[in-house]
A and B are shown apart, each in its own frame.
Chain A
Amino acid sequence: MREAVLTWCVPLELLCSHPLPVSAFLKTQVKLHTYRACAGKDEMGKMVSVINTVDTSHEDMIHDAQMDYYGTRLATCSSDRSVKIFDVRNGGQILIADLRGHEGPVWQVAWAHPMYGNILASCSYDRKVIIWREENGTWEKSHEHAGHDSSVNSVCWAPHDYGLILACGSSDGAISLLTYTGEGQWEVKKINNAHTIGCNAVSWAPAVVPGSLIDQPSGQKPNYIKKFASGGCDNLIKLWKEEEDGQWKEEQKLEAHSDWVRDVAWAPSIGLPTSTIASCSQDGRVFIWTCDDASGNTWSPKLLHKFNDVVWHVSWSITANILAVSGGDNKVTLWKESVDGQWVCISDVNKGQGSVSASVTEGQQNEQ
């Protein structure tokens, strides 16, 4: 009798195409689902429409909502001390986890790159940063960092190329950097007095390698220059750079805002290696900072717009060509750089594009 015979000649590359575990590969055939309930313009010609309203059942104000790397899960955090994770595929909203552990309002959450597993960091008014990890379908606290003397306002994971590194900005003016060193251990570096009165936001620069990748001896980690931006109550945006000896040093001080800087967002580096940072402030202004030269020393600000209210958040689209801005008037506006280098609101009623800013009021009206 003939035995079952094997032919095993799957091209290796197919399996190794991704740093994720092989199991991820198995999902490749599964069709991607989007969760938009309505596509195309409605009769009003809106550019933006509500496609999903998430019943978060948070008992207090929500301070942050972040989608994960694949855009399938949404993490929210609230004043009610909880962090919730929802599965938002197919327009659905299934509560996956309700994470309790903070003793104060939770200000911000951040997803780590999936190559490290499902990891979420949250920071709170209770001075703590908690790193949550999903193991076998259940979310648990994996690490708690209590190294700050005041409310921790912002957390941001470094690009995955650097390993698991988390930057935390606190009201005590310090920024701490947690680096995973394996086996549940985290190494802490702290930049004291980074911003007087407090740091409100941190955002990492995308991983860019000085010189060509080719020069790197294979097998060795490329020599990345790690950088991040922070915004604080001293109205400044500061750029930090890791020195050769592993110490963090202030590289640049960007001055343009006249009040607390509320958010900074370093644009993902898609396309050209020019660096771009968006910042918004209590003073209602949003600036776009660009740096063209390779040394990274000259940054020029360009005023995107002056809003009438506090601007809370700026967020780049994945290809870094559209900036979403949310302000105190509860409106989200989308901005795009035109060919001549001016930033234009691509979702502005007055521009004849139809209505658009994704204001929550619209959603509200839908209910009526």
Chain B
Amino acid sequence: MEKMSRVTTALGGGVLTGRTMHCHLDAPANAISVCRDAAQVVVAGRSIFKIYAIEEEQFVEKLNLRVGRKPSLNLSCADVVWHQMDENLLATAATNGVVVTWNLGRPSRNKQDQLFTEHKRTVNKVCFHPTEAHVLLSGSQDGFMKCFDLRRKDSVSTFSGQSESVRDVQFSIRDYFTFASTFENGNVQLWDIRRPDRCERMFTAHNGPVFCCDWHPEDRGWLATGGRDKMVKVWDMTTHRAKEMHCVQTIASVARVKWRPECRHHLATCSMMVDHNIYVWDVRRPFVPAAMFEEHRDVTTGIAWRHPHDPSFLLSGSKDSSLCQHLFRDASQPVERANPEGLCYGLFGDLAFAAKESLVAAESGRKPYTGDRRHPIFFKRKLDPAEPFAGLASSALSVFETEPGGGAMRWFVDTAERYALAGRPLAELCDHNAKVARELGRDQVAQTWTMLRTIYCSPGLLPTANLSHSMGKGGSCGLQLMNSFNLKDMAPGLGSETRLDRSKGDARSDTVLLDSSATLITNEDNEETEGSDVPADYLLGDVEGEDDELYLLDPEHTHPEEPECVLPQEAFPLRHEIVDTPPGPEHLQDKADSPHVSGSEADVASLAPVDSSFSLLSVSHALYDSRLPPDFFSMLVRDMLHFYAEQGDVQMAVSVLIVLGERVRKDIDEQTQEHWYTSYIDLLQRFRLWNVSNEVVKLSTSRAVSCLNQASTTLHVNCSHCKRPMSSRGWVCDRCHRCASMCAVCHHVVKGLFVWCQGCSHGGHLQHIMKWLEGSSHCPAGCGHLCEYS
């Protein structure tokens, strides 16, 4: 036959070519089937029955099998199947229960061959035997399956499923005599074609109707079933009891399922409701479709792989009256679109990072690791350890720690908890905070605090006293110590700190500030002029902008020395002396605040740079004396706060704001302050530092912030006279019209803290009650109750 030869050439060519394409049908399709030559496809529907040739660029209508003037119900097809051995032979299942066979080899226009009118209701499925040319099987809504021999006029045998409608019948590829049928009640039956009396095996596969099934094309006894329960299950039928191998969950009920040729674990599904897409699943990865075809605008009713050995062409027919050829290459792959990584910055600067493991596995072999027990074991999970393969995915999730420099937030919590913001003189607060910062290794911040102290707390007469004191004590032993602390990498900070210690006191004058800058100058000069033993970065490491400003001030003020010029020289040794040897009593308390001093002693250093720096130091010290008011620095302080805020250290900005209070508040935009406050409070609350947060709120000068405390808390108050809940807002009871919170002592309304006795419910101003109860144990209201204040 000439047709035959053409087919062989097509197959002999070996390669199918084509592209993703579609053509419009005149009517919705119900089913499609491909000719074994992979070049023709038949489309059947309620009012369509056509054969299309699949060409490279398009579908070409080849034959319309729906002939005759009046449409017959016999032509209303629910299913169609093309014989896999004889491409002239087709069978259709009609909605009226008729099974029709078609012979394309007939010369007449009407190709109808045989008509079997044995089923009483719609025939859902027809199926040719894969190897036997004349055997046709049908499954119907009436619950029966029939086997036809095309050489005879009627069915050979009838199989009764003993249950509801048959949805699908499929001959096994593996066993000559076996076929599987699926039912609306969720059962799958396995029949021997020779034994119509009863089924070989029956099991419940799905919850609800099983719409379809498909034997695995490779001879392995796997049967895939799809049901209304949105699942596709893969069964191993070779074992005594059908064993569920895989289960794929889809979005909608599964109408058709087809194994993908040449891909052991892939199958294609489509749905009859809701979902218009065709999915190709890897059964081992049951959650995400491997590929997805989204061409159809209505539900897909029929799918067929174009060639039994080619995995890339899929044909489909749809209710949207179109026929499509899909190329696997063009499929959208949700897996590819999926984000393989999750990343989250945690509160404490730790990172949670989840990543696809196949990526990880690929790299893991490179560097052998020598085992660090401190790292916990990395979690890995494989779905099927026995069969590792690339397509599968699982992820590893780790939490990483970043070090303080990298963003760990431990310091934040510590700092927040330990900072002192109020309740002590400014100088002490600064000292304390500087100390805290230094202990936490935040040298820059510590230094800022000490500088603030020197700027805003003037030493008054005290330093002078110190100086003279040190003059007396200043000895050669001091030099070495002084040097040692110069060499500390945080030299600038320490320098100013020294000054601080010395200048404890609240009297106002600017000497200390000047001292501080002088110290800085010392250090700088030290580096510039000597350079010998000083680490190159010791100065630049942590100095902020304002330091620079201070240096700059220096040259302009080079003036003749004053008599006092020697004093600073002793100032340094003094401090160390105090630590080393029992100091003068007036310094004792100060030292307690700076434990780091002892640390600096540990460093041993050369004496060389000391002298030169000393001379410079003395010069500048003398110069600045009492010339610059703190206001001079307000701009710098403002810039500094902005700097910190910009760095993300809003904690510093707010702390300084609070500590300095009025001194800087006017220089900074109200809104910015508010923003800092709210940011900081928000952070504190994230870290569950309620107390600190509360303190900050209380200390804040911004009204918007301080009113935060008054939000979101309900206080239920009962009238102390009639004991009814007070509903109105004020302090006057609605019922008894008396003021509820009168002080029993002074008989005025109490605003603010109100203390009362639970026994007699009398109370009043905290102060008044306390005072009263000191002298008497009776209730001040005169009710005779013995109140007690504890």
**A residues lining the B interface (CB < 8 Å):** 2-9, 11-20, 22, 24-25, 27-28, 32, 34-42, 47-67, 69-71, 74, 76-81, 88, 91, 103-105, 107, 125-126, 151, 208, 211-214, 216, 218, 262, 269-273, 312-322, 324, 326, 328-330, 332, 334, 346-347, 358, 360-368
Q: Are B690 and A18 in contact (CB under 8 A)?
A: yes
CB pair A330–B359 under 8 Å, yes or no, is yes
The interface centre, meaning the residue of A51, A57, A262 with most chain B CB atoms within 10 A of its CB, is A51
Q: Please give, as numbers and ranges, the residues of chain A lying within 8 Å of B230 by CB-CB distance.
A: 103
A51-B350, A103-B230 are known contacts; what are 19 more A-B pairs with Cβ within 8 Å? A5-B789, A8-B756, A17-B690, A19-B711, A34-B410, A39-B401, A49-B374, A58-B394, A62-B354, A65-B344, A65-B352, A71-B347, A88-B399, A105-B334, A315-B344, A319-B407, A330-B360, A332-B343, A360-B378
Q: Are B374 and A38 in contact (CB under 8 A)?
A: yes
A273 contact set on B, CB distance < 8 A: 671-672, 675
Q: Which of B357-382 contact A (CB under 8 A)?
A: 357, 359-360, 363-364, 366-369, 371-372, 374-381
Does residue B704 face the partner (Cβ distance < 8 Å to A)?
yes
> B108-116, B420-428, B605-613, B639-647: which one contacts chain A?
B639-647
Given contacts A16-B710, A312-B343, contact A212 B251 (CB under 8 A): no
Given known A61-B356, A270-B679, A360-B398, contact A103–B251 (CB-CB < 8 A): yes
| B686→A318 contact, CB < 8 A | yes
> Given A271-B646, A272-B646, A319-B649, are A361 and B349 also a contact pair (CB < 8 Å)?
no
Distance from B707 Cβ to chain A, minimum over Cβ atoms (Å): 7
Assuming the A-B contacts A14-B694, A368-B369, are A9 and B334 also in contact, with contact meaning beta carbons closer than 8 angstroms in the complex? no
Of the candidates B350, B399, B413, B713, the one having the most CB atoms from chain A within 10 angstroms of its own CB is B399
Among A7, A47, A80, A330, point to the contact of B287 (Cβ < 8 A): A80
Which residues of chain B are within 8 angstroms of A7 by Cβ–Cβ distance?
755, 789-790
Contact call B402/A363, Cβ cutoff below 8 A: no
Residue of B at shortest CB range from A219? B711
- A76 & B688 in contact (Cβ 8 Å cutoff): no
The residue that B378 contacts in the complex, of A22, A28, A364, with Cβ under 8 A, is A364
Report B695-709 residues with CB < 8 Å from chain A CB.
697-698, 702-705, 707-709
Q: How far apart sit A107 and B335, CA to CA, in the bound complex (Å)?
A: 11
Whether A6 and B338, one on each chain, are in contact in the complex, defined by CB atoms closer than 8 angstroms, is: no
CB contact between B249 and one of A15, A49, A81, A88 (< 8 Å): that residue? A81
> Are A326 and B343 in contact, CB atoms less than 8 angstroms apart?
yes
Contact B788 A5 (CB under 8 A): yes
Contact of B376 among A18, A52, A76, A103 (CB under 8 A): A52
Select B403's contact among A14, A40, A61, beta carbons within 8 Å: A40
Q: In the complex, what residue of chain B is closest to A359 when comparing beta carbons?
A: B363
Q: How far is the CB of A330 from chain B (nearest CB, A)?
A: 5
Q: How far is the CB of A336 from chain B (nearest CB, A)?
A: 8
Partner of B343, one of A65, A80, A104, A362: A65
A17 x B697 contact (CB < 8 A) = yes
In the complex, 7 of the A-B residue pairs with CB atoms within 8 angstroms, ordered by the A residue number, are: A34-B348, A53-B399, A56-B381, A65-B343, A214-B702, A317-B407, A330-B360
Determine whether the beta carbon of B675 is less than 8 Å from that of A361: no
Contact between B399 and A54, CB atoms less than 8 A apart: yes
Residues of chain A within 8 A (CB-CB) of B371 are: 366, 368
Residue B409 lies at the interface, judged by CB distance under 8 Å to chain A: yes
- Tell whether, in the assembled complex, residue B406 and residue A79 are in contact, meaning their CB atoms are under 8 Å apart: no
Given known contacts A17-B693, A53-B398, A70 and B688 CB-to-CB distance under 8 angstroms: yes
B393 touches A79 (CB 8 A): yes
- B406 near A322: Cβ-Cβ < 8 Å: yes
Q: B residues bordering A, Cβ < 8 Å?
A: 230, 249, 251, 285, 287-288, 334, 338-357, 359-360, 363-364, 366-369, 371-372, 374-381, 383, 393-403, 405-410, 413, 642, 644-650, 653, 670-672, 674-676, 679, 683, 685-691, 693-694, 697-698, 702-705, 707-713, 715, 753-759, 766, 785-790
A32-B688, A34-B348, A360-B396 known; A8-B410 Cβ under 8 A: no
Give chain A residues whose Cβ lies under 8 Å from the Cβ of B349: 317-318, 322
How many residue-residue contacts, CB under 8 A, span A and B?
399
Main secondary structure, interface of B, reads mixed
CB distance from A86 to the nearest CB of B (A): 9
Given A42-B374, A51-B401, A313-B343, decide whether A16 and B709 contact each other with a Cβ distance below 8 A: yes
Q: How far is the CB of A94 from chain B (nearest CB, A)?
A: 14
Smallest distance from the beta carbon of B678 to chain A beta carbons, Å? 8
Complex contact B713–A50 (CB within 8 A)? no
* 3 A-B pairs with the lowest CB-CB distances in the bound complex, closest first: A365-B369, A71-B347, A319-B648
Contact status A212-B353, CB under 8 Å? no
Q: Which among A24, A91, A318 has the greatest number of chain B C-beta atoms within 10 A?
A: A318
Closest to B651 in A: A319
**A47→B709 contact, CB < 8 A:** no
Residues of A within 8 A of B409 (CB): 318-319
Asked, given contacts A53-B378, A61-B356, A105-B287, whether A66 binds B344 with beta carbons under 8 Å apart, the answer is yes
Closest partner residue, chain B, to A319 (CB atom): B648
CB distance from B674 to the nearest CB of A (A): 6
Known: A38-B374, A364-B364. A52 touches B406 (CB 8 A): no
A88: chain B residues within 8 A (beta carbon): 399
CB A310 to nearest CB in B, in angstroms, measures: 9
Q: B375 contacts A318, CB within 8 Å?
A: no
CB-CB nearest in chain B for A332: B353
User: Which residues on A sit within 8 Å (CB–CB) of B707?
Assistant: 218
Partner of B401, one of A38, A272, A365: A38
Chain B positions within 8 Å of A36 at CB level: 348, 350, 401, 408
Residues of A contacting B756 in the complex (Cβ-Cβ under 8 angstroms): 6, 8
**Chain B residues near A69 (CB-CB < 8 A):** 347, 686
**Contact A319 to B650, CB < 8 A, known contacts A35-B399, A60-B393, A74-B352:** yes
Q: Given the known A-B contacts A3-B786, A76-B342, A318-B345, are A212 and B287 also in contact in the complex, defined by CB atoms under 8 Å?
A: no
User: With A and B bound together, what is the CA distance between A16 and B681 in angstroms?
Assistant: 13
Instruction: Find the residue from B354, B670, B690 having the highest chain A CB count within 10 A.
Output: B354
B755 close to A47 (CB less than 8 A): no
Q: Does B698 lie within 8 Å of A330, measured CB to CB? A: no
Contacts of A71 in B (CB 8 A): 346-348, 350, 686
Chain A residues near B687: list those with CB within 8 A: 32, 70
List A contacts of B363 (CB < 8 A): 330, 361, 364
CB distance from A179 to the nearest CB of B (A): 20
Least Cβ distance of A195 to chain B in Å?
Answer: 14
Complex CA–CA separation, A200 to B789 (angstroms) = 64
Least CB distance, B758 to chain A, in whole angstroms: 4
> Do B653 and A360 touch across chains, with their CB atoms under 8 A apart?
no
- Minimum CB–CB distance from B135 to chain A (whole Å) comes to 40
Chain B residue at minimum C-beta to C-beta distance from A171: B337
| A56, B374: Cβ atoms closer than 8 Å | no
A324→B351 contact, CB < 8 A = yes
Report how far A367 CA is from B344 CA in the complex, Å: 23
Question: In the complex the two chains form, is A321's CB within 8 Å of B407's CB?
Answer: yes
Chain B residues in 8 Å Cβ range of A314: 343
Name A70's contact: one of B686, B715, B753 (CB within 8 Å). B686
Among B407, B410, B698, B703, residue most surrounded by chain A Cβ atoms (within 10 Å): B407
Chain B residues with CB below 8 A from A103, complex form: 230, 249, 251
Indicate if the CB atoms of A125 and B648 lie closer than 8 Å.
no
A49 CA to B405 CA, complexed, in Å = 13
Question: Would you call A25 and B648 a contact (CB within 8 A)?
Answer: no
Which B residues lie within 8 Å of A13 (CB)?
Answer: 694, 697-698, 709
Is A37's CB under 8 angstroms from B374's CB? yes
Which residues of chain A come closer than 8 Å to B374, judged between CB atoms? 37-38, 42, 49
Q: A49-B400, A71-B346, A332-B400 are in contact. Are A358 and B788 (CB under 8 A)?
A: no
B753 contacts A9, C-beta separation under 8 Å? yes
- The verdict on A49 contacting B401 (CB below 8 Å), with A2-B788, A318-B345, A318-B683 known, is yes
- CB <8 Å contact, B400 and A358: yes
- Give the distance in Å from the alpha carbon of A319 to the alpha carbon of B653 in the complex: 13
Are the CB atoms of A269 and B679 closer together than 8 Å? yes
Instruction: Looking at the assembled complex, report how far the CB atom of B55 sits from the nearest CB atom of chain A, in whole angstroms.
Output: 31
For A43, the closest partner residue in chain B by CB is B372
